[in-house]
Structure 1
Amino acid sequence: MTAIAASGPADTSWRDGKRLLWPLGLLVPTIPWIAWGLAAATGWGVAWWAGPILVFGVFPFFDWAIGKDSDNPPDSVLAFLEAQRYYRWCTYLYLPLQYAGLVTAAWIWSTGRLDTIDAVGLAVSVGTVGGIGINTAHELGHKKDELERWLSKVALAQTLYGHFYIEHNRGHHVRVATPEDPASSRLGESFYRFWPRSVAGSFRSGWHLEKARLERMGRKPWTLRNDVLNAWAMSLAGFGALIAVFGVRIVPFLLIQAVFGFSLLEVVNYLEHYGLLRQRNGERYERCAPRHSWNSNNIASNVLLYHLQRHSDHHANPTRRYQALRHFDDAPELPSGYATMIVLAYVTPLWRRVMDPKVVAHYSGDVTLANLQPRKREKLIAKYGARV
């Protein structure tokens, strides 16, 4: 592996073991072309579904086969590590590939050569790219650099989820692991109940947060200075341009890929804080700590998601760049990487069998300390008990 040049002689022994792996994340936005190539080479229509096949089938295998890495960069190299532009380009390059794939897919849909099932498969594959692109937007949107913040909105435009730029930074990071946060799932809550609560709640929260910001400035919300509106305007402009060029035939597939894309984000939201709760100190919640996020050190998922799985450090240091995020020994750990856990989240009985006991164990058997689904509170207490 390539050694990291350090700020002092004592730091030269540390190496970023994933340094040469980060560009592998750029394979994700090539999924539409992978699907097209496989379909052309084999004649198999299932190839158009390459996106979900990779995410739900291949990536979980690599999580298991490659294993974990809990290595942390020492504090003495963090500033230098974050300053290296190599890592930034690994995220920047995702965007042109993401949109080139979307344009390619729009052209394919416009030709009418695919039957409906294959066209939907391509839409889901494109949505996979857009959904993981939201994670790229997540990485960029937390930064102070204006260009990166603008690129975050660009990445979100494909999935019609521009309000995430506001809600995640100023809503979720404030209310995380509390009942007030729409993006923090509750013990006993299935993904299918969480999805509408999070989608609607995040939309409302993003709008109200930005409206309140503008009101403090003495402005009305109906202005392009509204970061929710200007983010949505990017989506409308992009979709409008594609429809103008390729025709209305592509509209259903644009919508399918957008919904699948932001649903991929929501299933990740579901698993990141499931059942975890910050306790109240009087009128306030305790400060967010590593114990309030589920972590994973599986290398495959971490490379594809820019260390998103080191989620505790991200909440402690939101502006810290992905290559410098650290593992915490006292953070609760998922049984596998996100790719595997997404599959479990879709199968509610399997998810509950695996994760509910882990939440209860995390709270030493006292389920009343967890973030409980209100309508299942009594049932959960009866099942797991409360410590006296």
Structure 2
Amino acid sequence: MQSVPNVTHPWRDRKRPLWLLALAVPTLPFQAGALVSVTGVGAFWWWGPFFAFVLVPLCDLVTGRDGEANPPEEVMAALEADRYYRWCTYLYLPLQYGALVWACGEWSAGHLSTADGLGLAVTTGVVAGVAINTAHELGHKREQSERRLSRLALAQSCYGHFYVEHNHGHHVRVATPEDPASSRLGEDYYRFLLRSVWGGLRSAWHLERRRLGRRKRPVLSAHNDVLTAWSLSAVLFAVLTLAFGPRVLPYLVLQAVLGFCLLEAVNYLEHYGLLRQRRPDGRYERVAPRHSWNSNNTVSNLLLFQLQRHSDHHANPLRRYQTLRHFDEAPQLPSGYASMILLALFPPLWRRVMDPRLTAHYGGDLSRANLHPRLRHRFTAPETADAAPAEPC
């Protein structure tokens, strides 16, 4: 029998045309309006949460895990340089702001009932929340233009300080008790939300004050990235209120709050209970795949620019989403982010699903986990529990 030659086919991104599906998210308010117009059913103003937390989990269930192999090293440079992938993120912003302006027009017109107006605000809040993820992708890049787009994407949710805290705070302190954006075993989402919002704000201000101090610049100045980010949101809300009237302001505030609450829900599940251990010198070990919960569901990955491949992002923060790799050794969530966010809203269900997984990850030794303070005495020796935290690496 004649032997068949072993032909190696070059790697290619089979999902390449599908990345444009991510642009379905910023058009959710338009989709809601179209569905209401066609059907006459006002409930479709709530299309955003239905899309995010019903349709996406169902699609994840049907399509399953992403079975495509990680891109090999020899294609990384070309894949990073392919500008098609950048435009998939760039285009989110005009659609995001087009939808926001259109929503303001609907709120100001006076034909929506209170329930319908709230539904449109919640749908717009889903756009704002996922826009923070788009800002996250853009904000890690070296190009100044992308960093500016990142800040613009954050203005809708009034969460511009995330740009400072995430890059210079969270990535340094991730999976440690000192990080406000790393949730702890035994900490429910609602307690975490308060701690992370307030802690992130304080941290961003401290980091920016320290940066400006090193450069001998005043804190209260145009050089302060936190102040300029908040100013951008204030200008945006002021312009929209002047253009459409004060009727839109409560809806703008509501969608902003929902947007950053959605972001914090993602923060909650990404590092739940995971802890970097101390080295002999007292500093924390380097970030590894075992310090982030991952999910490799196909549809969620497409819609979130592979945020769910979170371990590789922490190992390589500058790496673009199309080159992020899946690690089998990273702890795995049982489902995609959308399903897990819903689970996080019900703390008893969350703990029933996630605490056994965390326990298994640490081989039953929960003294190695990032514990809520009220649980530390159960699993940690007193001298360890009372030790002063060392500086994170």
Question: TM (normalized to structure 2)?
Answer: 0.93
- Superposed, 1:364-379 pairs within 5 Å as 364-378=363-377
Aligned to 1:3: none
**C-alpha distance in 2 between matches for 1:167 and 1:11:** 44
1:218-268 CA-to-partner distances (Å, cap 9, x unmatched) read 111101111111111111111111011001111100000000000000000
Q: 1:183: how far off?
A: 0.2
Aligned to 1:323: 322
Q: How many residue pairs align between the two structures?
A: 373
Which amino acid in 2 is paired with 1:213?
A: R
1:182-219 CA-to-partner distances (Å, cap 9, x unmatched) read 00000111001100000000000011101100010111
- Superposed, 1:180-259 pairs within 5 Å as 180-259=178-257
Aligned to 1:131: 129
Q: 1:378: how far off?
A: 4.1
Q: How high is the sequence identity, in percent, across the aligned residues?
A: 63
- Superposed, 1:11-160 pairs within 5 Å as 13-70=10-67, 71-160=69-158
1:87-124 CA-to-partner distances (Å, cap 9, x unmatched) read 00000000000000000000100011111111011001
Gaps of 5+ in 1: 1-9, 382-388
Q: 1:11: how far off?
A: 8.3
Which amino acid in 2 is paired with 1:137?
A: A
Report the secondary structure of 1:29's partner residue. Answer: coil
- What CA RMSD, in Å, does the superposition of the two structures yield over aligned residues? 1.4
**C-alpha distance in 2 between matches for 1:325 and 1:353:** 30
Gaps of 5+ in 2: 1-6, 381-393
**C-alpha distance in 1 between matches for 2:119 and 2:376:** 39
Which amino acid in 2 is paired with 1:41?
A: V
Report the secondary structure of 2:184's partner residue. Answer: coil
The answer as to 2:245 corresponding to 1:268 is: no
* Contact 1:182 1:197 (C-alpha < 8 Å) held by counterparts: yes
**C-alpha distance in 1 between matches for 2:182 and 2:231:** 28
1:10-39 CA-to-partner distances (Å, cap 9, x unmatched) read 985212121111000000011001111111
Q: 1:377: how far off?
A: 3.0
**C-alpha distance in 2 between matches for 1:195 and 1:147:** 31
Report the secondary structure of 1:37's partner residue. Answer: helix
**C-alpha distance in 2 between matches for 1:371 and 1:11:** 45
Report the secondary structure of 1:313's partner residue. Answer: helix
**C-alpha distance in 1 between matches for 2:189 and 2:350:** 9
Report the secondary structure of 1:206's partner residue. Answer: helix
Are residues 257 and 376 of structure 1, via their aligned partners in 2, closer, same or farther at CA, if it must alter by over 3 Å?
Answer: same
* Contact 1:296 1:337 (C-alpha < 8 Å) held by counterparts: yes
